[in-house]
Amino acid sequence: MDSFFVRFKNALVLIALVLLQIVALAVQVQRPVEGTLPGSAPDGKRITLLRRWTVALVTPPERAVHAVSLHTRHVWDNYLYLRGARRQNEQLKQEVTELREEQAAFAEDAAQGRRLETMLGFQHKYIAKTVAAQVIGTSGSDRSHVLYLDKGWSEGLRPDQAVITPYGVVGKLRDVFPHTSQLLLINDSSSGAGVLLESSRIRGILRGTSSGEVEINNLTQDSRIKPGETVVTSGGDMVFPRGLPVGTIESIAPDPQHQPYTAIVIKPAADLARLEEVLVITGTSGTMPAAAQADAAQAEATAEETRRAADVLAQKLPSIGDDTQAKPQIGPDGKPVAAATPSDEVGGLPGVPNSGLPKVTPAVHPDRYTPGATPPAEELKPGAPAQPPSGSAQPQGGAAQPQTSGGSTPKADER
């Protein structure tokens, strides 16, 4: 017996270690917590402890190298490499001005939206508090899309908090350690999020794939879904607040493994491969934050100013609509005729409800294309010669233009 163990000790050690790890795998891969994907939920206590030891072993050097590189870059960017800074400053100022104008244009719509939400009792979650964190490391494997952040439990981070950049959603926190946290990116195969297609308003579930892509694979073929459509968070997963940009639809193809569903591949709005700084959403609230309220108020004031300036300009400048007001119409009896009210005219045509279109100047030489000159379609007879409008000049050259039918005449003549 002894000789058996001695003879096969190498193989036995291997078998023992492999079996031990298989049992450990079986213990770890439990039934996932309801509402979460397998692998996306935080680990159990014992596993967290093992992971914490590993992270404690690897992250201090990462943190040190990151600090040195950050300091070096800071010195280089702020004291040495200032070429083009002045020009960039001018460009940014110009951009700020343009964005302010754009913001003012949206302010009114936003205010109206908020009023409607209030009326409907709509529960909207605003991002109230965020913590900025820096990426110090990765998982080192392309099979696992996990990053390590330099902030942890002591900075107020907790598992399942959403992580974003100014461009869009990047993922959520998985395990949180005292001074480090693990960020599970949205392209990891265990990641998921509730999303909404912005224009078609179709809801879906976003999943990462093993190849590092992001896709929606719970929707069937729908002609309304088109490449280029923006995808935002729906808020249904209780992790990501509603309305955060996720990305745009890159391609739509039938999913051969999950028929009849389609694989809608999303191009993430944030560059997941080159993340440096992220924002962890540590708090949401039902009311808009004070800073955002101040911004909205400023934008509304700017919009009001712009509107007033436009009104003043409109009063000063002559316009098409001013002709009738400036010159009162005189009737055949020589008395002024009351101008038609705006509600019953358009383009000079009485009886048609006003749609806001400008009036058409009366034609100097009316012809059959002049509004009102063509008789109604029901009065026209196929093959009958066209009746020249009263007061119109006869066609030059002597040859009368033939007309085939009243309804299709203009197109036929144009050819």
In 3D space, the residue among 283, 206, 220 whose CA is nearest the CA of residue 249 turns out to be 206
Interface pattern 223-262 for other proteins (x via CB under 8 A): ----------------------------------x-----
CB of 210 to other proteins, least distance (A): 5
Number of residues engaging other proteins in binding (CB under 8 A): 53
Cβ 231 to other proteins shortest distance, Å: 20
Shortest approach of other proteins to residue 75 CB, angstroms? Answer: 18
186: CB partners within 8 A, 6+ apart: 169, 170, 171, 193, 206, 208, 214, 246, 268, 272
- 319 binding other proteins? (CB under 8 A): no
CB 230 within 8 A of CB 195: no
**Does 86 help bind other proteins (rule: CB under 8 A)?**
no
**Sole binder of other proteins in the list 2, 4, 5, 10 (CB under 8 A):** 10
377-395 residues labelled b (16+ CB within 10 A) or e (exposed): eeebeeeeebeebeeeeee
Which of 103, 209, 302, 324 touches other proteins (CB under 8 A)?
A: 209
Whole-number Cα distances in Å, 296 to 11, 121, 127, 285, 307: 70, 21, 15, 17, 16
Please identify, using beta-carbon distances, which residue of 107 and 280 lies nearer to other proteins: 280
Q: Which is nearer to other proteins, 64 or 352 (CB)?
A: 64
Q: Shortest distance, CB of residue 250 to other proteins, whole angstroms?
A: 18
Q: How far is the CB of 170 from other proteins (least distance, A)?
A: 14
Closest CB to other proteins among 179 and 406?
179
173 touches other proteins by CB under 8 A = no
Residue 330: strand pairing partners: 336
Q: What is the torsional sign of CA 30, 56, 149, 271?
A: negative
Check binding of 18 to other proteins (CB under 8 A): yes
Which of residues 6 and 399 has its CB atom nearest to other proteins in the complex?
Answer: 6
**DSSP character for 77?**
I
Stretch 37-76: interaction string toward other proteins, x if CB under 8 A: -xxx------x--xx-xxx-xx--xx--x-----------
- Of 124-163, binders to other proteins (CB under 8 A) are 135-144, 146-148
| 357 is an interface residue for other proteins by CB under 8 A | no
Q: What span, in angstroms and rounded, lies between the C-alpha atoms of 251 and 209?
A: 15
**Under rule CB under 8 A, which residues in 268-307 are in contact with other proteins?**
273-274
Tokens standing for 214?
């992001």
Q: Does 210 help bind other proteins (rule: CB under 8 A)?
A: yes
In whole angstroms, what separates CA 3 from the centre of its chain? 70
2 vs 378, beta carbon nearer other proteins: 2
Backbone dihedral angles phi then psi of residue 336, each to the nearest 5 degrees? -65, 140
- Confirm or reject binding of residue 14 to other proteins (CB under 8 A): yes
One-character DSSP codes across 262-322? EEEEEEESS-GGG--EEEEEEEEESS--HHHHHHHHHHHHHHHHHHHHHHHHHHHS--TTH
State in angstroms the smallest separation of the CB of 275 from other proteins. Answer: 8
Tokens at residue 144, please?
A: 């696992």
Q: How far is the CB of 110 from other proteins (least distance, A)?
A: 37
Give the Cα separation of 349 and 356 in Å (integer).
13
Q: Which is nearer to other proteins, 69 or 78 (CB)?
A: 69
Q: Which is nearer to other proteins, 177 or 240 (CB)?
A: 177
Give the torsion sign (CA, 114, 120, 125, 128). positive
> Which residues in this chain contact other proteins in the complex, by CB under 8 A?
9-11, 13-14, 17-18, 21-22, 24-25, 28-29, 38-40, 47, 50-51, 53-55, 57-58, 61-62, 65, 135-144, 146-148, 174, 182, 184, 188-190, 207, 209-211, 257, 273-274
